[in-house]
Structure 1
């Protein structure tokens, strides 16, 4: 069985290069092997501290919290990666296995969610496991089942996305192919009863293709034909632009609370997690889970959540923190592909680009053109290249640069853009709207003047 291909078919080697660094299949980076620890449920504070200890014992003591909410242990060797896997498996953690069917850290607990996505996601996982589909799908293939609420998954890339909506008293799911919520292609609306069938039908069709395609590579018209018996109407994308909240979060059980804490640039020393785990146990936190957009969510009584926030002042506790709107990969020297010191530049930007970083846009700092930290479009991208740093406006890291900046002048370029916004932004106008109004030509002019 085949489907219309909208993008060139990928070779086997390309699919391997796109694979994720799982615990059992670590990936080589600039500072050694990297192993990913994906969790499907919160873990105890002591387990968080233990992961930090293992990262120090087996790796170089650096841990990433990825945009999708996974721990990534860095600086491993082939031998220490095997030892890490053995030690992690001994902990009996709720490790994610097989096809990622993602629901978010607050699934089933959120006082604001439209529907609990866990029953639906569990039935999808069971189908995939029963029919052994994971190995027959493309690398990085992911399903998102978004019940809504305080931490929506709109920014995550998904091959298949279900978004809960209510019409009067009935629950439905909007279906999208590929992309983020803003860029995914709507396929229609299905009832709660038909939602599992919708996803499993698409997965089963893909699994028998000669080359298993990603969601973005499928022809929406053809997939709509597959789903015609169960889809009710065209879906409408409702992209959420409000920032994800940090700090205290309300749960459906009013006796409990949660708090979201951001990890600057998605990376910390193992000692940070060890300290956080030990302090969380002391104040009575009952569970901790890595979450979307490089963050941790802690669970417990409201007073315990507040105490752990007070203890975490160096981390991100508010969406007004400028570091919350900077997406940065590990960069140089951590990654062998990187030509940009992303974290050092991010710290400079957070301190010195106050006008630029008003919360209305994402500043994407990428060590290379892969764009690992922010695969979707960003209004401003600084991308490391061999012959300089590319500034890409309103695009992806692989798009045509607006200007190539000499290595070492990136902070100066950000200063020029910050000054442009300070002078040109209208009353009540956001930085994003200001830069969009000014356009690429005006930005290039400001950069040329600022770098001369």
Structure 2
């Protein structure tokens, strides 16, 4: 693997370590750490590489991946060489997803039962499987269904172990990697069903723990199963292989599983051989930052980066303290933060205290957590507004609304890189102003085009934006 030739670069794709994306402040290089896991020393090294080869800015993407900004073309080969040699990234040079799965940053901290067999063995099984469910993988699936449908001893009193979502995600990654023509943005959310809900993240397939088993969620509120967790990777691979076949013949119109025609989705469900089931019970919104109780008397601290961005020096200070504790690991959070795990309570408190001093997000009530913003102008070539600076001002101006549940998306253009889904208030950059969308996405109709000062004024009670949010049921008030 090596750095790409100049003609391989183009804006608008999913960047990676090997194939960066050209932006307004240089190349953007996206990193996918092995197993989505780092330790503090490795994070400090990434911060140092960001200073050495980029402009010193590090971001966490909406899918929980690291990004180094401002890399000069001539510096890229040396950056790639260091990242690969030091095993800071796990990259492949294919066109499919570099990282397919999204898991809780607290998954795999010691809870959950192990899975079997090894991912490489599962990959071999899936490669032998046929479209009709025959073969080894089909056998696993049939066994899983028969176990689920068999009578259960409800009076056994046995403790049901939760699904180890982190381990399951790694098996899925290994099994699915060999599927050709899978779109790069394909996403599988693997949720253990616990308190840290991932319900708010869009996905092509959802694998969710339910009472020690898993249910498979598809677009259109379709849920299948439940099945044994050991079978989930094989089922996911079969569903994604069928989706990739549809995408192969309709590259421009079928890019996500939700794009499948209704009859094609129905056929895919029928071919899975799984019974329909009810949707998992809704859970409260996840706590996104602060102190968390782990397993074995240990704790975790999740510290958010404002709008997903930090300078390398700040990251270095934070991770230097974590490194001094001598234990624990790091997971990247899809809420654009860093989870320091396996800590003593005093160490977790110290990290949160330092994060607060550095201006980072250490409290789940921080209004910045409810505002999504892309890199904006001038960092992005497409952006037409300075979204990061504007988002910070909007978070201050709308603190009470955000505390009451308002969600806001500040996008520099219609592409919606920071947040593809709907928000209560979406602002789309246009010639230095913003198109204002209520309860929609960047591609929905705007009711006004306003500058930042007008938006902040009209967000206040008694003004029209506030009134429209109330009418849409997105905020309370007169």
Q: TM-score range by the shorter chain?
A: 0.7 to 0.9
Instruction: Summarize deviations over 1:326-384 as a string: whole Å, max 9, x none.
Output: 11111111111111111211221222323322240211111111111111000101110
Unmatched tracts of structure 2, length 5 or more? 1-9, 93-97, 113-160
CA distance, structure 1, for counterparts of residue 193 and residue 110 of structure 2: 9
Pair 1:34 & 2:28 matched: yes
1:233 deviates by 2.0
CA distance, structure 1, for counterparts of residue 222 and residue 380 of structure 2: 36
- Could you tell me the TM-score, scaled by structure 1's length? 0.81
CA distance, structure 2, for counterparts of residue 46 and residue 241 of structure 1: 34
Pair 1:276 & 2:318 matched: yes
Unmatched tracts of structure 1, length 5 or more? 1-15, 178-183, 426-430, 447-452
- 1:207 equivalent in structure 2: 244
> Counterparts of 1:45-444 in structure 2 under 5 Å?
45-93=40-88, 95=90, 98-109=98-109, 114-129=162-177, 132-133=178-179, 135-166=180-211, 171-177=213-219, 185-192=221-228, 193-208=230-245, 209-211=248-250, 213=254, 214-228=256-270, 230-236=273-279, 238=281, 240=283, 242-254=285-297, 256-299=298-341, 300-313=343-356, 314-386=359-431, 388-405=433-450, 409-420=451-462, 434-437=470-473
1:164 deviates by 1.5
- 2:142 equivalent in structure 1: none
Number of residue pairs matched? 404
Task: Pick closer, same or farther for the CA change 1:258–1:95 going to 2, 3 Å.
Answer: farther
CA distance, structure 1, for counterparts of residue 466 and residue 313 of structure 2: 43
- Could you tell me the TM-score, scaled by structure 2's length? 0.77
CA contact (8 A) 2:29 2:68 kept: yes
CA distance, structure 1, for counterparts of residue 463 and residue 163 of structure 2: 41
C-alpha RMSD of the superposition: 2.9
Which sits farther off after the overlay, 258-267 or 411-420?
Answer: 411-420
1:269 deviates by 0.9
1:17 deviates by 5.6
CA distance, structure 2, for counterparts of residue 78 and residue 110 of structure 1: 42
Instruction: Summarize deviations over 1:377-430 as a string: whole Å, max 9, x none.
Output: 00101110127310010000111101111xxx31332232123389989xxxxx
Which sits farther off after the overlay, 268-277 or 218-227?
Answer: 218-227
Instruction: Summarize deviations over 1:117-174 as a string: whole Å, max 9, x none.
Output: 2343333223224xx21x42112112222112243322222122211112xxx52313
Task: Pick closer, same or farther for the CA change 1:285–1:422 going to 2, 3 Å.
Answer: farther
